[in-house]
């Protein structure tokens, strides 16, 4: 299949209007990145190629796409508060209007951020009903659907192995903070030259991978010619510094992803939710008529080594499959593209970062399986290079995990069409203006409706 043109630079501002159509409420898809997340970093865009699929989704509808610039490794609670603040700012600036519908989509830890956001909203709602306070931005009343992609709803064994001891957590933070200090010492020119040297010593693979993403980002931090080019490179350099500093000083998300009980003093995480909170959260979603679906990803075992050193995917897949905690039990889910087919997932099966059984939420009936690795589903799968090597500022597609999965352009397009159709399904059936949901009262006795798949 011929390579389709990818995201253009104007997407970096956040909101992208992709479809024009009938008057009335607009549908907004808000994409939340996961662990280490960002909107764009150097030549790497977290969600790559999504807008192009959604642009062709449903002619005649009104759809906007927003990319949330997340905090990379802060706790889920912190990231959820930042997401709520960011959504409220868009509401205050009239990016969202009262008749609009908001559809939240979270990849990986970004899904936990959304769950925490909804939990916080539920607590605010209950406080208001009891007359004990509770206030929230009207933007939260416009949430119509939520979709989770590769989300570790019960944590991941990879985080368990990386965060079980204080020494391991400290080592991870020290490594990231050391990288920040090194790039700061190199400066813009030194960082750019380091990236260029790396490209000479480690030529690009036939399909660019995570090493290429790193080196391309480094060499794009310094350009010697052109005022605009120099300014863009300088901005990339300081964005990279900030990203490394954020991770080196706040790495609390790693404990949020541990399937076992978190260390004493660690903030609460949806991955550690007890049965009572689960029941209250799911009932709240039903009462608010928020449609929910999880997309579960699973990939095969790593390909054989080509050299002495293991691949990134070989390491992460192996750790994720190593002795999963008992909390992660086998699950049976239907395939997204063919719901008649079911597959029972074992606790050891994963997508390179997250155990697949942990991605099932709120239950098996609302979870659907896609075969691909953790990065495939956000547009970083095996595909021929589509950008000239000398174009420093073009966003590129990278096969970040190189898992040798069969996930390709056709599978990516089909997946994101399904994601978009799920969001628009109810809006397409009812285009009339939706009245704002009433604030709760102490005598509110509304009966919950069933989840809608």
Nearest to 352 by CA among 386, 326, 380: 380
| Token reading at 66 | 């927003």
What pLDDT, on a 0 to 100 scale, did the predictor assign at position 178? 95
157 vs 323: CA distance, rounded Å: 8
Are the beta carbons of 451 and 361 closer than 8 angstroms? no
Partners of 157 in the β-ladder: none
The answer to whether the beta carbons of residues 296 and 371 sit under 8 Å apart is no
The better pLDDT of the pair 9, 27 is held by: 27
**Which helix (H) or strand (E) covers residue 246, if one does?**
helix 227-249
Spatial distance between the Cα atoms of 212 and 403, rounded to a whole number of angstroms: 16
pLDDT at residue 205, as a whole number: 65
Peptide bond before 362: cis, by omega within 30 degrees of 0?
A: yes
Mean per-residue pLDDT, 197-219: 87
CA geometry: angle at 299 spanning 294 and 303, to 5°? Answer: 165
Q: In this predicted structure, what is the pLDDT of residue 261?
A: 73
Give residue-wise pLDDT tens across range 109-129: 999 999 999 999 999 988 888
E strands, 70-168, in order = 101-107, 143-149
Instruction: Give the pLDDT confidence of 282-322 residue by residue, as tens digits.
Output: 999 999 999 999 999 999 999 777 666 788 999 999 999 99
Given a cut of 80, whether residue 9 has pLDDT beyond it is: no
All domains of the chain, ordered by start, with CATH?
9-154+271-429 (3.40.50)
| Whole-structure pTM value | 0.87
CA 151 to chain centre: 8
Q: What percent of the chain has pLDDT over 70?
A: 83
* pLDDT for residue 308: 61
Phi, psi of 32 (to 5 degrees): -110, 120
Q: Compute how many other C-beta atoms are within 10 angstroms of the C-beta atom of residue 443.
A: 6
Q: Per-residue confidence at 207, pLDDT binned at 50, 70, 90?
A: confident
């Amino acid at each position: 299949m011929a390579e389709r043109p990818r995201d253009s630079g104007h997407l970096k501002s956040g909101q992208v209007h992709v479809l024009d159509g009938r008057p009335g409420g607009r549908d907004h898809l808000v994409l939340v990145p996961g662990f280490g997340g960002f909107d764009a970093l150097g030549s790497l865009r977290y969600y790559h190629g999504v807008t192009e699929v959604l642009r062709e989704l449903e002619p005649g509808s009104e759809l906007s796409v927003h990319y949330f610039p997340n905090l990379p490794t802060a706790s889920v609670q912190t990231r959820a508060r930042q997401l709520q603040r960011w959504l409220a700012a868009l509401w205050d600036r009239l990016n969202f209007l009262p008749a609009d519908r908001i559809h939240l989509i979270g990849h990986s830890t970004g899904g936990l951020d959304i769950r925490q956001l909804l939990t916080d909203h539920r607590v605010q709602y209950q406080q208001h009903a009891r007359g004990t306070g509770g206030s929230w931005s009207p933007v939260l009343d416009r949430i119509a659907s939520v979709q989770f992609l590769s989300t570790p709803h019960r944590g991941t064994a990879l985080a368990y192995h990386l965060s079980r001891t204080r020494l391991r957590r400290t080592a991870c933070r020290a490594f990231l903070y050391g990288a920040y200090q090194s790039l700061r010492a190199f400066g813009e020119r030194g960082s750019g030259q380091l990236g260029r040297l790396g490209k000479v010593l480690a030529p690009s693979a036939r399909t660019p991978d995570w090493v290429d993403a790193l080196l391309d980002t480094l060499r794009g931090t310094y350009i010697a010619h052109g005022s605009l080019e120099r300014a863009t490179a300088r901005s990339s350099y300081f964005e990279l510094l900030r990203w490394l500093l954020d991770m080196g000083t706040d790495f609390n998300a790693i404990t949020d992803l541990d399937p076992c009980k978190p260390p004493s003093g660690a903030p609460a995480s949806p991955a550690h939710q007890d049965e009572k909170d689960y029941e209250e959260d799911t009932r709240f979603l039903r009462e608010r008529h928020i449609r929910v679906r999880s997309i579960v990803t699973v990939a095969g075992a790593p390909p054989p080594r080509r050299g002495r050193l293991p691949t990134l995917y070989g390491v992460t897949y192996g750790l994720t499959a190593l002795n999963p905690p008992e909390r992660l039990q086998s699950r049976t889910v239907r395939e997204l593209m063919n719901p008649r087919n079911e597959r029972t997932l074992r606790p050891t099966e994963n997508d390179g970062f997250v155990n697949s059984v942990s991605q099932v939420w709120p239950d098996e009936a609302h979870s659907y399986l896609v075969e691909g690795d953790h990065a495939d589903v956000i547009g970083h799968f095996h595909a021929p290079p589509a950008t000239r090597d000398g174009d420093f500022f073009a966003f590129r597609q990278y096969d970040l995990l190189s898992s040798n999965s069969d996930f390709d352009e056709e599978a990516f397009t089909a997946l994101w069409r399904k994601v978009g159709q799920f969001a628009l399904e109810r809006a397409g059936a009812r285009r009339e203006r939706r009245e704002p949901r009433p604030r709760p009262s102490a005598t509110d006795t509304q009966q919950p409706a069933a989840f809608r798949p």
